[in-house]
Amino acid sequence: MKNKLYIIPFLLLGFSLTAQKEDESKLIREVVSLEVERPKLTNTNPEVPDTLPPTMPAPEGEVLKRAENWYKVKHASYEKSSGAISGKTVACKATFIFKQKVLNPENDVDGKIIMDVLVEAKEGKYRYTVKNIIHKANKPGMDCGDVYGKIPACGSMKVNDITWKHVKSAGMNSAKVLVADLKAKMKVSSEEVKDDW
């Protein structure tokens, strides 16, 4: 009988681990509609007017190509790496340089803000997700970690509250820059982007 009692907690533990989802409060996510210009119909009968709207939902292939083009085009503020295209999804890491804007900083936390980006394509829309926004310092032992954390990963004894607020603010502002860039690139037709090799 004792053996059966030990199995149940392990089964429940296994179920709870597989049922966990990402924390929605730590995601920056939006679904954005995307339309393209409708091809002009060759109207052989001038008495029948063209009543179709001038735009239509963007085909899924076009949405995916635009996401791929966003990944390929360089940006002055950040670098994209570890890119992967799988089915209808483009995923990568984005890295921003973090440098404190004070003359004599109290804490040596200059380094990088790193985040994961996922762009999923469907007909007429795409969904972007920015997650895992972390701070990695150049100096060992000074990583602040997850910008959604209450205290820095290295501890509040190493990084004061003001510096921690600056790091968190830089992480959120970096995500805003990335999202603005993504949205701007997704508005550009894939035919307009030339590969300059």
- Range with the lowest mean pLDDT among 15-19, 36-40, 191-195? 15-19
pLDDT average, residue stretch 11-31: 65
> What does the alpha-carbon distance between residue 166 and residue 74 come to, in Å, rounded to a whole number?
26
> What does the alpha-carbon distance between residue 101 and residue 167 come to, in Å, rounded to a whole number?
11
Q: What is the pLDDT of residue 15?
A: 38
Residue in 117, 107, 115 with CA at minimum distance from that of residue 166: 107
Instruction: Please indicate whether residue 142 or residue 1 has the higher confidence score (pLDDT).
Output: 142
Cα distances (Å, whole numbers) of residue 97 to 12, 108, 169: 43, 14, 14
> What does the alpha-carbon distance between residue 107 and residue 100 come to, in Å, rounded to a whole number?
9
Model pLDDT for residues 79-125, shown as the tens digit of each residue = 999 999 999 999 999 999 999 988 888 899 999 999 999 999 999 99
Provide the pLDDT confidence category of residue 33 given band limits of 50, 70 and 90.
very high
Model pLDDT for residues 123-160, shown as the tens digit of each residue = 999 999 999 999 999 999 999 999 999 999 999 999 99
Q: What is the pLDDT of residue 148?
A: 96
Averaged pLDDT score across all residues of the chain:
85
Q: What is the pLDDT of residue 46?
A: 67
pTM: 0.80
